Amino acid sequence: MGDRIIRRGRGLASFPQPGLSRRQMIASGLSAMLLAGCSKASGTTFRVAEIHPSNYPTSMAITEMGRLIEGYSDGKLSMKLYAGGQLGEERDTLEMTTFGGIDMNRVSLGPLNSIEPMTNIPGLPFIFKNVAHMRDAMDGAPGRQVLRSLEPHGLIGLCFYDSGARSFYNTKRPIRKPEDMKGMKLRVQNSDLFVSLIQELGGNPTPMPLGEVYQSLVQGVIDGAENNWPSYFEGRHFEAAKYYSLTQHVIAPELLVMSRQRWEKLSASEQEIVRKSADESVPYMRKLWDLKTLDAEKAVRASGVEVNEVDDQQAFVDRVQPVWSEYIKTPAEQKLVDEIAEMGVDHA
Ligand code: BDP
């Protein structure tokens, strides 16, 4: 499945070294660097990778979690946040996390899709009716199942953070109906699910890391992308792509994961502290997220971006049905979809 993904290098570790893949080289180099900084006799510091700046809600939640961990462990455990993509783009840092080279990682669902098919389910277009539905489902049994599904891949799923609704933005024209997307070159995350989604809508999907989107918009390498208000704002994408169309096609959550190798070295009581601190960082994150979303939307609108509603959201829902058939393959996946749908009944 992952074969369809177009990988875009960032120039890291591009020198030849027989027998090692580029990612393995990055992983081994970074692991050495990180572990060297970690061997304090006084306690254990978890290194956390995060693509967003340190004042973004996910980063601030990680900082809060670090404060909690230190408190609960009497200073024996702590966390160090590497914000702003210092350790690399999500797909690479995720791989390093599975090897144990990075202790924790806050990622979007997208890059997990090629690792574990179960993560496609909460990323299906229009599966959640709204953010409240997503929160209920991810706080409940469906969320726990998705977190557990990561364990065979060397990852311990700690918690979900919010990511709001993702909508399309572009440099050309408002998108009111799927036909408006025809032929548009749209950046997507490194995820086959997102590639299929754009294809069904008639666009031309271009996977690339988040860090390359602004420049690619400015240079006309892509016509647009899709994201929530905070990322559209924080990445300054709104300066280059002046049309933001409220398709709200995906309400996928973010995840905080931990390296299983690292997890298994902790005592049961330390594991409990990590879980408890992660859980307690979630309501904190959600408060910040709601405020950040409002602020970002306000700033974007004030900047002169043309924001539009779509004519008929059902037209988009209908067009992406093949994505559902393509990604719900097993009875377990279907069951998860049904459970999530059932929880949506109370959400108008
Ligand atoms: C943002 C997520 C971030 C992803 C980014 C993306 O917070 O983790 O890297 O989208 O589109 O909303 O790549």
Does any ligand 1 atom lie closer than 6 A to the CB of residue 167? no
**Token pair in block for residue 264:** 């298994």
E-strand ranges in 71-165 read 77-82, 104-108, 155-161
For 55, list phi and psi in degrees, rounded to 5.
-100, 10
Closest ligand 1 atom to 166 CA: 12
The pLDDT tens digits for 85-115 are 999 999 999 999 999 999 999 999 999 999 9
The model's confidence at residue 1, banded by pLDDT at 50, 70 and 90, is very low
The residue ranking higher by pLDDT, 16 or 187, is 187
Instruction: Tell me how far apart the alpha carbons of residues 207 and 187 are, in angstroms, rounded to a whole number.
Output: 5
The pLDDT tens digits for 308-341 are 999 999 999 999 999 999 999 999 999 999 999 9
Query: Average pLDDT for residues 64-71, to the nearest whole number?
Result: 98
Closest ligand 1 atom to 107 CA: 8
Instruction: Tell me how far apart the alpha carbons of residues 163 and 282 are, in angstroms, rounded to a whole number.
Output: 12
**Token pair in block for residue 199:** 């294809």
The model's confidence at residue 348, banded by pLDDT at 50, 70 and 90, is confident
Instruction: Tell me how far apart the alpha carbons of residues 276 and 287 are, in angstroms, rounded to a whole number.
Output: 18
Does any ligand 1 atom lie closer than 6 A to the CB of residue 254? yes
The pLDDT tens digits for 206-227 are 999 999 999 999 999 999 999 9
If 0-12 CB within 10 Å is exposed, 13-18 middle and 19+ buried, where does residue 3 land?
exposed
The pLDDT tens digits for 121-168 are 999 999 999 999 999 999 999 999 999 999 999 999 999 999 999 999
**DSSP states of 183-233:** T-EEEE-S-HHHHHHHHHTT-EEEE--GGGHHHHHHTTS-SEEEE-HHHHH
The pLDDT tens digits for 236-274 are 999 999 999 999 999 999 999 999 999 999 999 999 999
The pLDDT tens digits for 13-52 are 222 233 344 454 455 555 545 554 454 557 999 999 999 9
Average confidence score pLDDT of the chain: 91
* 271 CA from centroid of ligand 1 (Å): 27
For 58, list phi and psi in degrees, rounded to 5.
-65, -40
Mapping DSSP onto H, E and C, the string for 57-78 reads HHHHHHHHHHHHHHHHCCCCEE
Query: What residue's CA is closest to ligand 1, atom 8?
Result: 108
* 20 CA from centroid of ligand 1 (Å): 28
* 57 CA from centroid of ligand 1 (Å): 12
Question: Residues of the chain with pLDDT > 90: what percent?
Answer: 87
Does any ligand 1 atom lie closer than 6 A to the CB of residue 188? no
Which of 97, 105, 163, when mutated, tests ligand 1's pocket best, judged by the most ligand atoms within 8 Å of its CB? 163
User: pLDDT at residue 8 above 50?
Assistant: no
**DSSP states of 225-286:** EEE-HHHHHHTTHHHH--EEEEEEEE-PPEEEEEEHHHHTTS-HHHHHHHHHHHHHHHHHHH
Closest ligand 1 atom to 90 CA: 9
User: pLDDT at residue 12 above 70?
Assistant: no
Closest ligand 1 atom to 210 CA: 13
**Token pair in block for residue 297:** 């939307």
pTM of this prediction?
0.90
